[in-house]
Amino acid sequence: MKKIYSRPQSLYDVVTHYCPGCGHGIVHKLVAQVVDELQIREKVIAVAPVGCAVLAYDYWNFDCTEAAHGRALAVATGIKRMRPETVVFTYQGDGDLAAIGTNETIHTANRGENLTTIFINNAVYGMTGGQMAPTTLLGQKTTTTPHGRKEQEGRPLKISELLAQLEGVYYVERVSLHTPQQVINAQKAIKQAFQNQIEEKGFSLVEILSPCPTYWNCSAQEAMDWIAEFMVKEFPLGRIK
């Protein structure tokens, strides 16, 4: 029988620690698939964030490092500048990339570093127990916005649109995981973002709307529906730059 689908070589055959219905696992697989397709497993270096995905290196079968919370792009800058022949990417949550690490995000993008960033927007802080993130929707309940987020607590931060303003940025696209078709689109965008780096085009970022059923207090299916109904209205999908 002909084998038409299998686990990517870049993904270890291990049990996941992510919650049922979490988007991180899906994106880990998409990244692994892209790395395989582009045949870059032996020259890719991942920078894991502080967030639920800090353990990404338990799943990816290639070189990885941790970075302090919010500093992934500074670490990636150090690696890529010293080893321009490698393919370096960061994988960051919304707290990591758009709150504590906003400064590194903006300045790395503004320098036009030839890097790829996978940005997981799940509208909460997962690892620390479901607090408000910069991307939390207005009215959304979290452990630190028990009555729903109000304007005074900040409006959902559209960091991707912000970054698209910068000349150093080559590519920004927002995708989602809420249907199989969206997942296919997400994989295409991730592949494009890696391809850009290989072709030395400059800074590329893919924002991925990703479910966190645990801290959205809902089932996996309800989480997907919530993305379709509410998140994509606040964070429109498609190519931003």
Partner 1 sequence: MKSNNKENCFRKVLMTGNDAIAEGALRAGCRFYAGYPITPQNELTSYMAIHMPEYQGVFIQAESELAAINMVFGASAAGFRAMTSSSSPGISLKQEGISYLAGCELPAVIVNIMRGGPGLGNIAPAQSDYFQATKGGGHGDYHSIVFAPSSVQEAYNLMFAAFYLADKFRTPVMILGDGMLGQMMEPVVLHSAPLEFSENIDKPWALTGCKDRNPNVIRSLYLKEGALEALNERLQKRYQMIEKTQQRFEEDFVNDAQVIVVSYGAMARIVKSVVKKLRQRKLKVGYIRPITLWPFPVKAFNRKKTTVKYLVVEMSYGQMVEDVCLSVPDKKKVYFLGRAGGAIPDTGQITRKIYKLLR
Ligand X SMILES: Cc1ncc(C[n+]2csc(CCOP(=O)(O)OP(=O)(O)O)c2C)c(N)n1
Residues that bind ligand SF4 (CB under 6 A): 18-19, 22, 24, 52, 122, 126, 212-215
Which pairs count as long-range contacts for 228-233, CB under 8 Å and 24+ apart, including other chains? 228/178, 228/179, 230/137, 231/121, 231/123, 231/137, 231/176, 232/176, 232/178
Tokens for 200, please give them: 């030395």
For residue 230, state whether it binds partner 1 (rule: CB under 8 A).
no
**Interacting positions 68-107 with ligand X (CB under 6 A):** 69, 93-96
Return the residue of 36, 63, 153, 234 that touches partner 1, per CB under 8 A. Answer: 63
227: DSSP letter: I
For residue 128, state whether it binds partner 1 (rule: CB under 8 A).
no
Nearest approach in angstroms of CB 61 to partner 1 is 6
Determine the Cα–Cα distance for residues 93 and 210; give it in Å rounded to an integer.
Answer: 10
For residue 18, state whether it binds partner 1 (rule: CB under 8 A).
no
Residue 53, class by beta-carbon neighbours within 10 Å (0-12 exposed, 13-18 middle, 19+ buried)?
buried
Extended strands (E) in 17-71: 44-48, 63-66
For residue 170, state whether it binds partner 1 (rule: CB under 8 A).
no
Return the residue of 7, 16, 20, 83 that touches partner 1, per CB under 8 A. Answer: 83
Q: Applying CB under 8 A, which residues contact partner 1? A: 41-45, 47, 54-55, 57, 60-68, 70-71, 74-83, 85-87, 103-104, 106-107
